[in-house]
Amino acid sequence: MSKNYFILFFSIFTLSFLPSNSFGQKKSKEQVDVSLKTNPKLVVGIIVDQMRYDYITRFWDQYGNNGFKRLVNEGFNCKNNHYNYAPTSTGPGHASVYTGTTPAVHGIIGNNWYDKVAEGDVYCAGDDSYNSVGTTSDAGKMSPHRMNVTTITDQLRLHTQMRGKTIAIALKDRGAVLPGGHTANGAYWFNNGAWITSSFYMDKLPSWVEKFNADKSFDTYKKPWKSLKNVKDYVESGIDYNAYEGLFKGEKSSVFPHDLPKLWDANGKYEMLKATPFGNSMTADFALAALEAEELGTDDITDFLAVSFSSTDYVGHKFGVNSKEIEDTYLRLDQDLERFFKELDHKVGKDEYTVFLTADHAAIDVPAYLRDLKIPADYIVWDDIKTKFLQFLQFNYGTTDIVKDFSNDQYFLNHNVIKNLDLSIQEVQEDIAKELLTYKGIDRTYTAYQMWQNDYTHGIPYILQNGYNQKRSGDVLVVLSPGTISYPKTGSTHGSPQIYDTHVPLLFYGAGIKHGSTVGRTEIDDIAPTVASLLGISFPNGTSGSPIVEVLQ
Ligand SMILES: [Zn+2]
């Protein structure tokens, strides 16, 4: 008997015998409900784009009491929470949190990937069969159609006969489209100074969104980005002036303050806000407007607000994980969270909502910085490898056509060419895997054949297999050496199966959540089944994770 059945059975058992028990106690309704489900008025899912777990601990002393600290001090902290697949990037990350499974099942194998059937590049949330709503550009032509399974948000909609509402919000389209699932009432993202959507959801922006856009409240963020506190007090980060940070166009050095009004036109105008903490503030503003206008969490039918804070990723990519800019961005996000929770207390009620906060991936320390500290780290330039690799293909097979594409650290082979040459696909995969292993910066290689034949249970092969989708993934999988990335020498990136990309925060807070923490390993696909258990609803239909039992009351 599984644990859940046991609890259910036990509840029924106690119910039927209680009226006649010798103490004459009445079984309260509350006790019955607790064993079945928690019924928050609202679930708030928060994904912070590119948040490392250690941002909680490193910046702890600088945070206020009512943002991140409120979640940790009053909620549940899963300290050892990991992505259990690669590539660790935004599209797969958002899909995995909400579907409770990995790219092997949900099919979002990258932000972009080579589509073997269409023989071209596809975007994870792109869908030309729909139109943009709220913009004349193509930025709204999106839908979750490439995500093959349901999300926790879909399951809530199904469970409530579509009465529970789902609204999803992020600066990035994929950060809203994938969490919203296939049945969202609305998903909105930011494009050139306006919140927009897709005709997948609606034919016209709701009046509250039109009004929000017309008010141009985001114009207030066109101001110099000064540090929130004295930058000298940011002792948790490296020095402000260093060689490891990128620049805004038109800037001579990457130190505070960053003069947004002056740099505005050269950096894409409103698009520039995305790479500053103000992008997160704008997201919080818009999420609060949605809370009010959509009347989320105002009745007994649970609603879902999915919010993704994307600016942290843009800032991390530009300035790196050890920059003063990233610290400032997190201190400001902490304030945005405080403001957000305060409003939820006010509008929904303090104990009436449940929050989870996680990230879509973490990020690496800038390898150039690590190298200067004598820590093994490096950069790989694929174009340098390409010449040698093409020579290998030409020499061995008499043609370079054997490789169709390289993306997300996977080589896609042309199976027709291989068959016409009367070669075995398995052998070609193995030969290429062995050749690549001789190149500097490549640490391990695996073949699709291995992914098919084995059932890996731990380590890097396990992570690759969870990211390997039989219909969509490539033929040869490459893992770079620890500390090695393919990226400019400034700023941080992510995407690998290494622990610096997989270790992300996971905090639960609010209705139905215990206070506590664990250092036991939890995995990203455990989030959706945990929330489903809390709500007493069906798991998303591809779920591979398990509920984290310690979290739930
Ligand atoms: Zn990123």
CA distance 70 to 63: 10
Half-sphere exposure of 469 (CA within 13 A, CB side): 24
Q: Tell me the CA–centroid distance for residue 23 and ligand 1, in Å.
A: 60
**pLDDT per residue of the chain (553 residues) written in tens, 0 to 9:** 344 444 444 444 444 444 433 343 444 444 544 467 889 999 999 999 999 999 999 999 999 999 999 999 999 999 999 999 999 999 999 999 999 999 999 999 999 999 999 999 999 999 999 999 999 999 999 999 999 999 999 999 999 999 999 999 999 999 999 999 999 999 999 999 999 999 999 999 999 999 999 999 989 999 999 999 999 999 999 999 999 999 999 999 999 999 999 999 999 999 999 999 999 999 999 999 999 999 999 999 999 999 999 999 999 999 999 999 999 999 999 999 999 999 999 999 999 999 999 999 999 999 999 999 999 999 999 988 999 999 999 999 999 999 999 999 999 999 999 999 999 999 999 999 999 999 999 999 999 999 999 999 999 999 999 999 999 999 999 999 999 999 999 999 999 999 999 999 999 999 999 999 999 999 999 999 999 999 999 999 999 999 999 999 9
Residue 208 one-letter amino acid: W
Q: Tell me the CA–centroid distance for residue 512 and ligand 1, in Å.
A: 32
H/E segment holding residue 503 = strand 503-504
The first and second tokens of residue 405, run together, are 């594409």
The first and second tokens of residue 340, run together, are 């957000």
- Cα separation values, 325 from 60, 64, 308, 320, 337, Å: 16, 18, 19, 8, 18
For residues 512 and 534, is the Cβ–Cβ distance under 8 A?
yes
**Number of neighbouring beta carbons within 10 Å of residue 259:** 14
The three-state DSSP-derived secondary structure of 254-280 is CCCCECHHHHCHHHCCHHHHCCCCHHH
Catalytic residue numbers, as ranges: 90
Q: Tell me the CA–centroid distance for residue 174 and ligand 1, in Å.
A: 12
**Number of neighbouring beta carbons within 10 Å of residue 470:** 9
> Helix, strand, or coil here: 2?
coil
Phi-psi region of 141 (alpha: psi -120 to 50; beta: other; left: phi over 0): beta
Cis check: omega of the bond before 103, within 30 degrees of 0:
no
Residue 360 one-letter amino acid: D
Half-sphere exposure of 213 (CA within 13 A, CB side): 19
Tell me which DSSP letter residue 300 carries. Answer: S
For 381-439+442-480, CATH gives 3.30.1360.150
> Which neighbouring-strand residues pair with 447?
476
Handedness of CA 520, 83, 98, 474 (dihedral sign): negative
**Interacting residues of 15 by C-beta distance below 8 A, sequence separation 6+:** 27, 32
Domain boundaries, the chain: 42-366+496-551, 381-439+442-480
Residue 36: the pLDDT is 79
Length of the chain: 553
Nearest to 150 by CA among 110, 105, 119, 118: 105
Q: Tell me the CA–centroid distance for residue 36 and ligand 1, in Å.
A: 39
CA of residue 280 relative to chain centroid, distance: 15
pTM of the complete model: 0.93
Question: In the sheet that 186-191 helps form, which strands lie side by side, from edge to edge?
Answer: 132-133, 194-198, 186-191, 166-170, 303-309, 42-48, 353-359, 506-510, 76-78, 516-518
**Number of neighbouring beta carbons within 10 Å of residue 7:** 13
Give me the CATH topology for the region 42-366+496-551.
Alkaline Phosphatase, subunit A (3.40.720)
> Which neighbouring-strand residues pair with 378?
484
The first and second tokens of residue 307, run together, are 């919010």
The first and second tokens of residue 287, run together, are 């999420």
User: Considering just the CA atoms, what is the radius of gyration of the chain in Å?
Assistant: 24
CA distance 22 to 35: 23
Q: Tell me the CA–centroid distance for residue 111 and ligand 1, in Å.
A: 10
Q: Tell me the CA–centroid distance for residue 125 and ligand 1, in Å.
A: 16
β-bridge pairing 186-191 and 120-123: unpaired
> Which neighbouring-strand residues pair with 116?
none
**Number of neighbouring beta carbons within 10 Å of residue 29:** 8
Q: Tell me the CA–centroid distance for residue 492 and ligand 1, in Å.
A: 8
CA distance 514 to 204: 41
